[in-house]
Structure 1
Amino acid sequence: MTHTHEMPIEERLRHCGLRPTRQRVALAALLFAKGDRHLTVEELHEEAVTAGVPVSLATVYNTLHQFTEAGMIRVLAVESSKTYFDTNVSDHHHFFIEGENHVLDIPVSNIAIGNLPEPPEGMEIAHVDVIIRLRPRKG
């Protein structure tokens, strides 16, 4: 079975139920070109502008949210002012380096989460996001 990340971008978009418009293809190509990573709307917009993709910040924002709804990426709300989009949709957790605003994956084998509450009737837990905040040691 072919994994979606091995498919051409146009095919991946169609597979996820999205029409492969020129802007979606261009943004997806930038987003997935460098393996697993964490990006804000602003960072992807800057990459698009640098790459000569004529796209507004609002379009990047809307496209990333469409990709999220389609299951291509996931949202990480690290702090209220910044939302990161993660190209790795597998279950994993994150370190956040305060001051640098840098997000790193935590190897999945290192964390076990237990004693989760029972979800309300008719609901299931989609995934659990653990964000461990780091800062340089003092002294």
Structure 2
Amino acid sequence: MQDTASQATRKVRAAGLRPTRQRVALAGLLFAKGDRHLSAEELHEEAVDAGVPVSLATVYNTLHQFTEAGMLRILAVEGSKTYFDTNTSDHHHYFIEGENTVVDIPSGPVTVHNLPEPPEGMEIANVDIVVRLRPKRR
């Protein structure tokens, strides 16, 4: 646990953020399990289960701070449902309906053609593709 906390502290500091107790605890939970996709509610539940005293509002604020610092990618998948991705590389996603699960699409097979020109003074920062999946209907 100490090793996880020190790794989380280094990660938070490297992103230019002050390593508060709550940031370090949430970073430890987020990054200890490798690349994954979580909602704020799911991370809050993990924190409560781990005995981390943190409010849902603090989890939201921390996730947005981590996103602004480049530690996470934000994915708006389903209406108001937002997921946070610990893999910040350029990649696309499957969203499995009914399970509310986000899965990375293996790199390579997706190409985007004929993007519109951005308005003057703007540039395209990223293109997020979410392919929605559901079980086949018989």
The answer to whether the superposition gives a TM-score over 0.5 is yes
CA RMSD of aligned residues (A): 1.1
Take 1:98 and 1:40, find their aligned partners in 2: how far apart are those partners?
15
Corresponding position of 2:3: none
Take 1:124 and 1:20, find their aligned partners in 2: how far apart are those partners?
33
Corresponding position of 2:89: 90
2:108 match: secondary structure: helix
Corresponding position of 2:27: 28
Corresponding position of 2:36: 37
The answer as to 2:69 corresponding to 1:70 is: yes
Structure 2 length normalisation: TM-score?
0.93
Take 1:60 and 1:110, find their aligned partners in 2: how far apart are those partners?
34
Q: What is the 5 A alignment of 1:1-139?
A: 8-139=7-138
Percent identity reads 74
Take 1:88 and 1:95, find their aligned partners in 2: how far apart are those partners?
14
Take 1:101 and 1:81, find their aligned partners in 2: how far apart are those partners?
13
Structure 1: stretches of 5+ with no match in the other structure: 1-6
Identify the range of structure 1 (53-62 vs 111-120) with the bigger mean alpha-carbon deviation. 111-120
Deviations 1:9-64 (A, max 9, x none): 22221221100000000000000011110000000000000011000000001000
Matched residue count: 133
Structure 1 length normalisation: TM-score?
0.92
Take 1:123 and 1:14, find their aligned partners in 2: how far apart are those partners?
31
Corresponding position of 1:4: none
**Structure 1 residue 120: deviation in Å?**
1.5
Letter in 1 for 2:104: D
Structure 2: stretches of 5+ with no match in the other structure: 1-5
1:61 match: secondary structure: helix
Letter in 2 for 1:52: G
1:108 match: secondary structure: coil
Letter in 2 for 1:88: N
**Structure 1 residue 107: deviation in Å?**
0.8
1:8 match: secondary structure: helix
**Structure 1 residue 81: deviation in Å?**
2.8
